[in-house]
Amino acid sequence: MSDAVLVIGGGIAGIQASLDLADMGKHVYLVEKSPSIGGRMAQLDKTFPTNDCSICILAPKMADCYDHSNTTILTYSEVKEITGSAGDFTVTVLKKARYVDAKKCTGCGECTEKCPAKAPDLFNMGLGTRKAAYLYFLQAVPRVALIDQEYCIRMTKGLTKDGKPRCGVCKDVCQAGAIDFDQQDEEITLNVGAIIIATGFDPYDPTSLTEYGYRRYKNVVTAMEYERLICASGPTGGHLKRLSADDRDPKTIAFIQCVGSRDLHHNKYCASVCCMHSTKEAILANEHDPEIHSYIFYIDIRASGKGFQDYVARAKKEYNVTYIRSRVAEIAQDAGENPVIWYEDTNSRQVKSMTVDLVVLATCMVPRTDAVGLAAITHTALDEYKFFQTSPLAPVDTTIPGIFACGYCQGPMDIPESVAQASAAAARAAEIVS
């Protein structure tokens, strides 16, 4: 029997579940795949319906979670195998090499500064680049750099003719002596009594909806990309710009709802948060520049949460946001790289076109691609959309006793709901390990 708990996934749900358990005196192992905890919430600019700065309310929780005496945070790690049953699980975790000694690294950023190799910046949704020696993002927890072996010159280019490595600048400049090119992946075995899955979601790739021109037209972006574009710590320093070479500030923005959602050709379900996040994003645009007029193309506005309907009303009244009831048929592009939207205005019963400066696609949110693998490892069942299966009167219980699921990995939900579920999952897990 073990009185520890494994939490898989360090987004807001995983963080909250870990904090609750740690506060109850249980030991928590939090395994996070990416180099930092924080999840999607760390990538958001603000949160609806209060417009709180997302990272500002998240960062203290990230720090508390990391610093807590009852937690062990394993980032850049993955669960490989689980055996046993409720009360006594044996877990094998693969901790990938960062090529940086976490104990020595101070997160000063010197290696990043001097590193000559560039890689796409995944935290910024591929907008812009970062270095091969990098910190996942400014507020990353743990504040430990890592080296991307796919892009590092030393690790990809081999030796020179006279047998010397081609680069090593990071090692030369690191005053803490933390760079360690010989670091190896590590396998860790844990014994836990309960497991909480909190692996969240991926944004749906809208490329297959060719009629919307994503990737073909520069000024058609996804909502997740938009969150980074408008964020002060994002690739443009929070200056909301078009992605075409003209660099113009957009004055009209169209938000297209239900892209790949509620659509039997893509995902049948409603992703539940997009009506609100597009409203938020339109409000933020207007706060950045009061001249911006936003149009939200929707099928029906789903504002069924605390304060949501008022939020929508405020967007209309105070932030120059117009809601148009229509599922957009097509997006074309004019000679000035402006997106042209074709749609039926269902109120006036007319097919119209509208030329805007920027289009934001509210794409569906789907389970992480490795949910299937994780379900196999944990022997838990997934539902028809590959969300972890739960039941109405046991909403955080998976199909395996002792294994729980919370947050977006088990169904569409916003941050407050993910947090509530996380606390529920923590309570359920605590029952087992007490």
Ligand X SMILES: Cc1cc2nc3c(=O)[nH]c(=O)nc-3n(C[C@H](O)[C@H](O)[C@H](O)COP(=O)(O)OP(=O)(O)OC[C@H]3O[C@@H](n4cnc5c(N)ncnc54)[C@H](O)[C@@H]3O)c2cc1C
Q: Does 381 contact another protein by CB under 8 A?
A: no
Q: Does 330 contact another protein by CB under 8 A?
A: yes
CB closer to ligand X, 374 vs 424? 374
Query: What number of other Cβ atoms are within 10 A of residue 219's Cβ?
Result: 24
Residue with tokens 């693969």: 94
CB closer to another protein, 192 vs 328? 328
10 vs 141, 374, 400, 409, CA distance in Å? 10, 15, 21, 12
List residues binding ligand X (CB under 6 A). Answer: 8-14, 31-34, 39-41, 44, 47-48, 78, 198-201, 203, 223-224, 227, 273, 277, 280, 365, 368, 370, 374, 407-409, 413-416, 418
d(CA 226, CA 244) in angstroms, rounded, equals 14
Residue in 181, 269, 342, 385 binding another protein, rule: CB under 8 A: 342
The entry of another protein, ligand X, none that residue 55 binds, CB within 5 to 8 Å by partner kind: none
Structure-block tokens of residue 307: 């304060």
Residue in 351, 372, 376, 394 binding another protein, rule: CB under 8 A: 351
Q: Does 263 contact another protein by CB under 8 A?
A: yes
Q: Does 337 contact another protein by CB under 8 A?
A: no
Partnered with residue 386 across adjacent β-strands are: none
Q: Does 322 contact another protein by CB under 8 A?
A: no
Give the shortest CB-220-to-another protein separation in angstroms.
Answer: 16
Residue in 56, 138, 313, 329 binding another protein, rule: CB under 8 A: 329
Q: Does 385 contact another protein by CB under 8 A?
A: no
d(CA 171, CA 185) in angstroms, rounded, equals 19
Q: Does 210 contact another protein by CB under 8 A?
A: yes
The entry of another protein, ligand X, none that residue 201 binds, CB within 5 to 8 Å by partner kind: ligand X
Residue in 88, 289, 291, 300 binding another protein, rule: CB under 8 A: 300
Q: Does 91 contact another protein by CB under 8 A?
A: no
Helix (H, G, I), strand (E, B) or coil at 164: coil
**H or E segment to which residue 145 belongs:** none
Give the shortest CB-23-to-ligand X separation in angstroms.
Answer: 18
Q: Is the dihedral of CA 110, 111, 117, 118 positive or negative?
A: negative
The entry of ligand X, another protein, none that residue 415 binds, CB within 5 to 8 Å by partner kind: ligand X
Q: Is the dihedral of CA 143, 149, 150, 151 positive or negative?
A: positive
Structure-block tokens of residue 174: 């690191």
d(CA 265, CA 260) in angstroms, rounded, equals 8
The entry of another protein, ligand X, none that residue 48 binds, CB within 5 to 8 Å by partner kind: ligand X
Where would I find the beta strands (DSSP E) of 157-197? 186-192, 194-197
Q: Does 334 contact another protein by CB under 8 A?
A: no
DSSP 193: S
Residue with tokens 């400014």: 138
Helix (H, G, I), strand (E, B) or coil at 154: helix
**H or E segment to which residue 426 belongs:** helix 415-433
Choose the binding region for another protein from 97-105, 151-159, 302-310, 321-329 (rule: CB under 8 A).
Answer: 321-329
Give residues in contact with another protein (CB under 8 A): 210-211, 258, 262-265, 299-300, 325-330, 342-346, 349-351
